[in-house]
Amino acid sequence: MGAYVLLGVSILLEVFGSTMLKMSNGFTKALPVLGMIAGFGSGFYLLSVTLEYLPLSLVYATWSGIGTVLTALAGVVFFNEKINKQGVMGIGLLVVGVLMMNLAN
């Protein structure tokens, strides 16, 4: 499996873990807590494998930036959270920053 595919799966698992964290309602619901543990655990494992093939700066910038964007979108889709103009601009800046980091390597 390619390093970027591993990174993408790691990002999706981290977003899943974050979504389950919200759904756990302060660790009061067992199934979302288990999903959170599985998502974060497997996501971090794949992140560590990705670091064997790609530089840390590229991996972490991509993982955290795209993870933040997707987590914000999950909040909008699943929890009816709102994003204002500043939030949209911030997401755009994150995407540009991740693209720049990837093009620099």
pLDDT, tens digit (0-9, with 9 covering 90-100), for 11-36: 999 999 999 999 999 999 999 999 99
**What Å distances lie between residue 17 and 4, 84, 103, CA to CA?**
20, 24, 28
Tell me the HSE value of 105 on the side-chain side, using a 13 A CA sphere: 14
Give pLDDT tens digits for 81-104: 999 999 999 999 999 998 998 888
Nearest to residue 12, comparing CAs of 31, 32, 40?
40
* Whether pLDDT at 1 is above 80: no
Whether the per-residue pLDDT at 45 is higher than 80: the answer is yes
- H/E element holding 43? helix 30-50
